[in-house]
Structure 1
Amino acid sequence: MILRWLLFASFSVHVFAVCDDPNAQVIIVGGGPAGIYAATGLIEQHGIEDFLMLEETDRPEGYLYPIDFGGLSFRPGALYGLTPIKPLMMELGIGLVATDNSSYTVYNYNGEDVTAEAREREAAYVAAREKGLPLADDIDRCLRPRPDIPYKAKLGVNGWVAKSDIDKTMEWFNFDFNEGLSTRDVSTGWTYRQAMANLFPDKCFITGRARIILDGMLEQITPARIALNSRTVNVTQTDECVIVTTSDGTEYVGEYAIITNSVGVIQNGGVTFEPSLPPWKSEEFFRYQMGTLDAIFLKFDTKFWDDTEYILHATDRHGYYPAFLNLEAEGYHPAGTNILIGFLTGDEAYRAEHLSDEEVQAEVIGVLRDMYGESNVPDPTEFYMSRFATDVDIYGSFSAYPIGIPPEDSQMRLKGPTGRLYFAPEDAADIHIGNPFGSVLDGFFAAGGVAGCIQNQECDDYTPDRSICKPRPVKQRKNMN
């Protein structure tokens, strides 16, 4: 008993001493787009410059990090720009190519061109999707006369069941390719909310320097306000301050903290919290799933493939190297680039990430040889594969909305503060979860909450409202006598 008291007393003295000498008013955990926009929100909108951003890597840019491949520069984490952020990217002069999802050639594993049949089946898929658009407006917050269900179930009700190899590929191309997950994993209501907001399939391939979108923001943040190679592993909150501990044992202290880690990082214990997050908060983080879109870059000495933008692979194994982007298609890169980008999502991405580069290359080249013939497909001269599902900085590419949860309630739980901690996961950005614009919105939202607490002493104290649901009507039994 005495030992327990001594340990508690020692901890208390340490905490109070640390809280008396903070490093900054606000500690921002994560230096990706959400963290950078949270920082600039504090500066531009609220005049708060006393903050410190902790970035786990050697660069404050998150998923916008570049790779050099085939003499060109790519950002595997941001290959495409979606509708909400496209005007801003154009204004900044970032090179974009409007993709044409109708420009594709489809081969089966026997090398037969089945494009005509694929177009017919795609039309059937689109018809089933469009038939369900009114559902998003019909889902009531509590009674839900038309309950939310997995998107796969709604497609089935509307007449679409992916049975054939071609069906599976066209479903992947029109859904998994956007979400990073299959139709069984994603909310019907959420999917149609996105569709009605025109968030897909309208997207652009980024050929320019996407990091420009952060350059103006970073110019406002002095280097002294960024601690690189500082991976946060623990966040301890007291009545007086927040203590953030990095992987090398360094402690950073702030009056408040903005947490920008992805759902995947929190789910996998990349950051722990003391005391633990309230059950309503933890439960909400675990409701979400992280989708994965991995890119496989292949450079060849010669071009052996079709001139369409996409070359699709029809196989009975859903998502097994189903699509390749032709970077020599019109508007992309000059002739002689000789680069294909293959894509994997969801379970197949996770599986492939546990293989070596050599094993993945053997699989993907095997698929291309099935499609174009053994003698027509040489080994690539360069190879690169992103591995987002197992990347400890994110554990996935972007999040997907959970099934059966009212969006407004769920997103408020995600970004609602707990004491001195404010949260900015892109998952809480209404219809913009899963794209960079969501990070921007959540960063600004968190900055506003912290600023209100610092400057006006108006601190948010969020607790989920569990009284919003009306009681269900009692069923009346008929008297059959």
Structure 2
Amino acid sequence: MTDHQPEDRPNDRPPAGPPSVLVIGAGIAGLAAARALRDLGHPVTVVEARDRVGGRIWTDHDGVDLGAHWIHGTDGNPITELVESLELPYGYVGGDSAYTGGFDRLRLIGPDGRALGHALKNRMLELADGVLHELEQRADLARKRELPDISLADAVNEIIASGDFSDEDERGIRYHLNVILREDVAEDAGKLSHKFWEDGYLVYGYGDSVLRDGYQSVVEALADGLDVRLEHVVTRVERGGAGEPVRVATDHGDFLADKVLVTLPLGVLKSGAVTFGPALPEAKRAAVARLGFGTLNKIALHYREPFWPADQYVFGYLCREADRYPTVVISMWKSHGRATLVLLLGASLGRELETWSDDEVAAYTTTVVQDMFGPDTPTPTHITRTAWSADPFARGSYACIGVDGSPRDLQTLGEPVGENLFFAGEATNSHHWGCVHSAYESGLREAARISGNTALYKPPTAEISRRQRRDIDRMKRFAGMRMGHLSEAELADRVACLKTSVDPYGVRVFEPLVGTELDTLASMFDEVGFAPGDVLCREDAAAHGIYLISAGEVSVDFGGIYEHAVLSAGALLGGHDLFFNARTSTVTAVGEVRAFFLDHYRYKTFLYAFPDVMMLMITNLVARWEQLESALGTVALPGAQRLHGSGPQ
């Protein structure tokens, strides 16, 4: 790695050699791209505004990662593969990004300074799960029906206002929401899209890991041997005409290159500190405006020796008002053998931290530590803290999906402009954003695009989205909680009803289910009652769940499509309606009716968790269509003649 070399000349290359490339930014995206392009023979120069490489990766002299901290989703993660290839030591700490280290192992401290018992801790999680389930169910409907977007905060407040929660219950719910949003997404719920805040976000295998020598060891290894010009602040990027080089203006003079890769943080692009000539396309500027850029700040408290439980990695803080205090405190003794506690403060609380004096920070952290470990805790030897939103070369921590934004904006941000201006960074990765692997992948993606060598980058092959994984986890906890509350006789009654159920077309949908999958599904249904004349659902309303009649009779009016029917115990309605935008018929209770109900969102999550069952449901659905086709005879489908025309109609 070199710096302060002559910069008032274009990159030299043989006349017929690969095009020269200038990379703006020595974060992991820029370094990954530069290294890959250099290895292919491209003359590459990297300009970096800071006096160090890494960007938002920053391991200080105490060994604390003040920026990026974890490998999120260790198994299958390209960062795991990278650090192993570089022979850098790392250690597995578990968890799932939001609940670093894992919720089960989280020592959650309550207002009395004591750790919450297992039952109370799980009750809080169950309440939060219920709110999050409703939140995601509403978002799913909003996406399907193309409803206007609202903020995540508005949706959360509506759900909480409609529930009968005590103050203590609401405090526990908001604690969990802060863990997931404020300290993971790094932004306030009022600034996040309800419909798309994590839509399509792919995750790798379970469990986080940490770098023993800090993330700085990764970027320094990547930068080794590259031409990196430190302390070069870029002010303008100008594209010339066809065949002309791109000119990049810095406070140390101009650079010329055939192609330029911009890896500036989204916060810097939002600030307008770097201008483009001609201006970036309107679509890209609109994407920059719609996307959010959150802040996650840290306070590191350094001690001579640990005075807290040495085998505990993460402490949860529920001692005071959740919106004013951190949700978690990390112990670096467990992971690195350092007597350091790290507080995470995200979103507006993190930004407010940047305005506090050193005395205010000391008083604040003393309160937190004494609440958790008692009044006799020692004073730290020193305190360090971050200020990412005030940092002119970051303006925040990482991207998020703002209200009216979507992951498509990330994709738009990553698209090249012409044939010589390219963009990379975590905010350009629509597969996942806000992580080191997001940025790293984007750098390889653009190196492949610039060089034409497609072997450099393959899109992520993660098999599940973050939303699906969280939904499945919540579903399994919900089913476990239900089975714990149902008596053996009650569960057996549900299983028998489900096993023998028949839909209106004579299909025994759940007959093939056995064992755990049948017990799990049966436990998830809510039991509801209806008086004579009550309407279970009305004609042409959007289908939203499954009704399983366990006692009594219901009248079904198919709106003239089929004959009116009266169905008795064992009737199943809506079992396949989640596979398309189905509408309901009018279903009315004939007498007293007892039924089991399961909303489609939770049912869909069950099918994600048991893919063999999903295939069975789809097979049954196809069989039902075939039966219907046989009954109707061979007829042309509406619009089928178009297939034989001369082209699109």
TM-score normalised to structure 2 length: 0.58
Q: Secondary structure at the match of 1:431?
A: coil
- Counterparts of 1:41 and 1:414, CA distance in 2: 22
Q: Secondary structure at the match of 2:325?
A: coil
Q: Could you report, residue by residue, the CA deviation over 1:243-278 in whole angstroms, capped at 9, with x for unpaired residues? A: 211134x11112221111011011123312233323
Q: Could you report, residue by residue, the CA deviation over 1:184-222 in whole angstroms, capped at 9, with x for unpaired residues? A: 332344445467x34698422333343444455434x44
Q: Is the 8 A contact 1:55 1:230 kept in 2?
A: yes
- Counterparts of 2:306 and 2:374, CA distance in 1: 14
Match of 2:42 in 1: 49
Match of 2:624 in 1: none
Match of 1:466 in 2: none
- Measured after TM superposition, the shift of residue 157 of structure 1 is 6.4
- Measured after TM superposition, the shift of residue 450 of structure 1 is 3.2
Q: Secondary structure at the match of 1:261?
A: coil
Match of 2:52 in 1: 59
Match of 1:7 in 2: none
Match of 1:22 in 2: 10
Match of 2:468 in 1: none
- Measured after TM superposition, the shift of residue 415 of structure 1 is 1.4
Over the matched positions of the two proteins, sequence identity in percent amounts to 20
Match of 1:168 in 2: 174
- Counterparts of 1:75 and 1:139, CA distance in 2: 39
Aligned CA distance change for structure 1 residues 199 and 356 (closer, same or farther; 3 Å): farther
One-letter identity of the residue aligned with 1:293? L
Q: Is the 8 A contact 1:324 1:342 kept in 2?
A: yes
One-letter identity of the residue aligned with 2:432? H
- Counterparts of 2:401 and 2:41, CA distance in 1: 33
- Measured after TM superposition, the shift of residue 354 of structure 1 is 1.8
Q: How does 1:315-354 map to 2 (within 5 A)?
A: 315-329=320-334, 332-334=335-337, 337-354=338-355
Higher RCO (CA 8 Å, separation ≥ 6 residues): 1
Q: Is the 8 A contact 1:234 1:244 kept in 2?
A: yes
Q: Could you report, residue by residue, the CA deviation over 1:350-377 in whole angstroms, capped at 9, with x for unpaired residues? A: 1111223332122111222244443x12
Match of 1:451 in 2: 451
Match of 1:237 in 2: 239
Across the aligned residues of Structure 1 and Structure 2, the Cα RMSD in angstroms comes to: 3.2
Please tell me whether residue 183 in structure 1 is matched to residue 173 in structure 2: no
Match of 1:299 in 2: 302
Q: How does 1:315-464 map to 2 (within 5 A)?
A: 315-329=320-334, 332-334=335-337, 337-374=338-375, 376-408=376-408, 410-419=409-418, 420-452=420-452
Q: Is the 8 A contact 1:97 1:207 kept in 2?
A: no
Aligned CA distance change for structure 1 residues 344 and 423 (closer, same or farther; 3 Å): same
Aligned CA distance change for structure 1 residues 286 and 425 (closer, same or farther; 3 Å): farther
- Measured after TM superposition, the shift of residue 280 of structure 1 is 2.1
Q: Is the 8 A contact 1:172 1:319 kept in 2?
A: no
Please tell me whether residue 37 in structure 1 is matched to residue 32 in structure 2: yes
Unaligned runs of 5+ in 1: 1-19, 454-481
Match of 2:105 in 1: 103
Q: Secondary structure at the match of 1:380?
A: coil
Q: Work out the number of aligned pairs and report it.
A: 416
Aligned CA distance change for structure 1 residues 433 and 370 (closer, same or farther; 3 Å): same
- Measured after TM superposition, the shift of residue 382 of structure 1 is 2.0
- Measured after TM superposition, the shift of residue 112 of structure 1 is 5.1
Q: Is the 8 A contact 1:299 1:382 kept in 2?
A: yes
One-letter identity of the residue aligned with 2:47? L
Within the candidate set 251, 255, 262, 1:259 is matched to 262
Unaligned runs of 5+ in 2: 1-7, 13-19, 94-100, 454-649
One-letter identity of the residue aligned with 2:269? I
Please tell me whether residue 275 in structure 1 is matched to residue 270 in structure 2: no
One-letter identity of the residue aligned with 2:443? G
Q: Is the 8 A contact 1:389 1:397 kept in 2?
A: yes
Q: Could you report, residue by residue, the CA deviation over 1:324-368 in whole angstroms, capped at 9, with x for unpaired residues? A: 112334xx244xx43211111111111111223332122111222
One-letter identity of the residue aligned with 1:414? L
- Counterparts of 1:127 and 1:94, CA distance in 2: 40
Q: Could you report, residue by residue, the CA deviation over 1:137-180 in whole angstroms, capped at 9, with x for unpaired residues? A: 7776xx74455543345555666989643333232223322211
Match of 2:467 in 1: none
Match of 2:210 in 1: 205
Match of 1:247 in 2: 251
Match of 2:315 in 1: 311
Match of 1:477 in 2: none
- Counterparts of 1:181 and 1:200, CA distance in 2: 25
Aligned CA distance change for structure 1 residues 94 and 293 (closer, same or farther; 3 Å): farther
Aligned CA distance change for structure 1 residues 194 and 158 (closer, same or farther; 3 Å): farther
Match of 2:70 in 1: 80
Q: Could you report, residue by residue, the CA deviation over 1:50-108 in whole angstroms, capped at 9, with x for unpaired residues? A: 22210112333323332122xxx232212111113453245544312322332233334
Aligned CA distance change for structure 1 residues 440 and 276 (closer, same or farther; 3 Å): same
Q: Is the 8 A contact 2:236 2:276 kept in 1?
A: yes
Question: Over alpha carbons, which structure has the higher Rg?
Answer: 2
Q: Is the 8 A contact 1:94 1:210 kept in 2?
A: no
Q: Is the 8 A contact 2:290 2:404 kept in 1?
A: no
- Counterparts of 2:103 and 2:385, CA distance in 1: 23
Q: Secondary structure at the match of 2:45?
A: strand
Aligned CA distance change for structure 1 residues 352 and 298 (closer, same or farther; 3 Å): same
Q: Is the 8 A contact 2:10 2:257 kept in 1?
A: yes
- Counterparts of 2:159 and 2:198, CA distance in 1: 14
Match of 1:469 in 2: none
Q: Secondary structure at the match of 1:78?
A: coil
Q: How does 1:212-231 map to 2 (within 5 A)?
A: 212-214=217-219, 217-219=222-224, 221-222=225-226, 225-231=227-233
- Counterparts of 1:134 and 1:170, CA distance in 2: 18
